[in-house]
Amino acid sequence: MPCLNEAETVETCVRKTIGFFEDKGIDGEVVIADNGSTDGSQQLARDAGARVVPVIDKGYGNALMGGIRAARGKYVAMGDADDSYDFATLGPFLDELRGGADLVMGNRFKGGIAEGAMPPLHRYLGNPVLSFVGRLFFGSKIGDFHCGLRAFNKDAILRLGLQTGGMEFASEMVVKATLHGYDIREVPTTLSPDGRTRAPHLNTWRDGWRHLRFLMLFSPRWLFLIPGLVFMTLGLLAGIALSTGPVTVGEIAFDVDTLVGASAALVIGFQAVLFALLTKVYAMQEGFLPHDRRVQKIIDWWSLERGLLIGGVLAVAGLGGLVASLLHWRVNSFGELDPRHSLRIVVPAATALVMSFQAIFASLFVSILGIRRRQHPPLTDPAEEAAGVVDAEAHKVAKSGAAKGDAAEAEKPEAGRVAAGKTTESGGAGEDASES
């Protein structure tokens, strides 16, 4: 349980959980990840039977990761220390974990949200929208991305390398577990009004934005690729149609002004698609996102030489268009031109030139990302290496001599035992004679 000044409720939460352990015969512990409480929460938790782990780095995610790492059990359940969740209902979570699940999420919308337990803005807009975005972007089936009560296999979660320190930690856990193909299950849970008199730590707009920002940054496909493809398609189709003359749809006429807009859309879309590729390559290499075979095939095909070739072809096309525009200007004696004709040559040429440099720069950047750091073996001094060989041989000889000495010693006691036996027998006879 993450804790920051929860003196009003932490003791109740701890006692409820320990009671659940005792009733179900579970070998468990309660870990309070204290994030700098100043109201005596730590001692109250200890008195109730919890183990308090201080976490210096501030934030919901930092506190939870500190507690998760400190936990001694195979399975870990996390929940707020504000008495809004009933820790005595962890049985179904544990059953799913024992059945092979890696992560078990609670779903408050299926289990029930008591009156006043969740602000209407969170209940009807924030949580449903963010959960929908999470399902759309990552193919998750979880209905409540931000439920604070969940349980998981500790080792499996630690392998994810969770990084966020704030409230978005809740989303990161679900997203990364989904991307890594974990077995994620969901059980209904209830949410009650918390037992605190102070305001909650959650900030609606700030933390809501942090969740949305995380979901977007971890999905280059939806952040860059799909919007980029849409822009490129619209720009390309409109550009091709308008490059030969005006296009009329009903009473609306589209001309060179729209052609300039189509060119801008094509350039923006192309840039977004390149950003999607670059982001994916970087995230894969740094371990933020799992390896994607489709992206790897594109990278393997798109070598620096191919990128330079593609950029060169676009550059030649653009330069050809500029030459054509100069010839058109010459035909008109370098005088004033009709933009409805001249722009149909200049705009496509300029667009091709811009895209050529984008392709070249992107190819160079992908090649830079592909540079690997190598660990070279340390240099060895020949004298030290020779001395090591001599020492090894000397140690081998000494060990062999010691083994022969042990064998010789092993034979002596056997002879001693025989001699001792004879002496004892003769001595025993002498004693008998003296007695008689």
pTM of this structure: 0.72
Three-state secondary structure call for residue 246: coil
* Burial (Cβ within 10 Å: 0-12, 13-18, ≥19) of residue 275: middle
Q: What is the DSSP code string of 67-135?
A: HHHH--SSEEEE--TTS-S-GGG-HHHHHHHHTT-SEEEEEHHHH-B-TTSS-HHIIIIIHHHHHHHHH
C-alpha span between 89 and 112 (Å, rounded)? 13
Query: Which pLDDT tens digit goes with each residue over 316-371?
Result: 999 998 898 888 888 877 877 778 888 889 999 999 999 999 999 999 988 888 77
83 in Cβ contact with 13 (< 8 Å): yes
Summarize pLDDT for 152-191 with one digit per residue, the tens: 999 999 999 998 998 899 999 999 999 999 999 999 999 9
Domains belonging to the chain, first-starting first, are: 2-217 (3.90.550.10), 220-369 (no CATH)
Distances (CA, A) of 425 to 298, 421, 429: 93, 6, 6
Q: How far is CA 147 from the centre of its chain?
A: 19
Q: What is the pLDDT of residue 73?
A: 93
pLDDT under 70: residue ranges of the chain: 372-395, 397-436
What is the structure's pLDDT at 424? 39
Per-residue model confidence (pLDDT) at position 374? 52
pLDDT in tens, 189-223: 999 998 888 878 778 888 888 889 889 888 999 99
